[in-house]
Amino acid sequence: MFCEKCGTQLPDTAAFCTNCGASVAKTKNIEERLPDTEIQLRVEPSFKFGYIILTTILPPLMIYGILLLISLLPLFMLNIGMGIATILICFGILVITLGIKTIINKKQYDNICYDFYKTKVIYKDSFLNLSEKEVKYKYIREVTMKQTLVQRYFNIGNIILFTNAESGHGNGICIVNVENVQDVYRNIKSITRL
């Protein structure tokens, strides 16, 4: 559990906060005692092929292409046919690799969901690795929305739920590439009451 005053993580048996000294309430409010099984909102990332091409495939393709041309330039000058064949083979391998990466990303997107209940949000990922994370709304201290210029063009964006965790990693949930992000952001804020 966490201190409601300063957010310090405490053992479940604590009566007082070890950081600020505040009394830790032992009674749970009525909402926490009722089962919370009805999904209020489901958010899933949107796989936009054009966005993936612009942000994850095109930059490495251009960088590797330039490096490949520079490194193979001496071979190209000695034997034009051999240089062109080598360049085509290397580009082919690169395109196949990036294609496989895109297919894996698509499968990953298809298996991620964020379910918002009355008192909590649950993140689930079930593609390559099984992962699940639950965060109660009372521990969420901030909800933010961010859109890059490219994301705005594709009508997607990121929503970040920050918690009181002080560990430096895993302190919240980041929902990436949400379609109609501004509407979803408003819905999340109203559900979490932030």
Q: What is the DSSP string of the chain?
A: -B-TTT--B--TT-SB-TTT-PBPP-SPPHHHHS-----SEEE-----HHHHIIIIIHHHHHHHHHHHHHHHHHHHHH-HHHHHHHHHHHHHHHHHHHHHHHHHHHHHHHTEEEEE-SSEEEEEEESSSEEEEEEEGGGEEEEEEE--HHHHHTTEEEEEEEES--SSSS-EEEEEEEETHHHHHHHHHHHHT-
Per the domain annotation, does 151 fall within a domain? no
Q: How many domains does the chain have?
A: 1
List of long-range contacts for 56-65, beta carbons under 8 Å, 24+ apart: 56/101, 56/102, 56/105, 57/98, 57/101, 57/102, 60/94, 60/98, 61/94, 61/95, 61/98, 64/94, 65/91, 65/94
Per the domain annotation, does 176 fall within a domain? no
Per the domain annotation, does 22 fall within a domain? no
pLDDT of residue 165: 67
pLDDT of residue 27: 43
Antiparallel, parallel or unpaired: β 130-136 and 41-43: unpaired
With 0.85 as the threshold, say if the pTM is over it.
no
User: Which domain range does residue 60 map to?
Assistant: 49-108
Residue type, 126: S
Per the domain annotation, does 58 fall within a domain? yes
Per the domain annotation, does 93 fall within a domain? yes
pLDDT of residue 56: 77
Mean pLDDT by groups of 10 residues along the chain of 194 residues: 76 81 62 72 93 79 75 71 75 83 89 94 87 89 93 95 69 90 95 83
pLDDT of residue 69: 72
Per the domain annotation, does 78 fall within a domain? yes
Per the domain annotation, does 17 fall within a domain? no
Per the domain annotation, does 127 fall within a domain? no
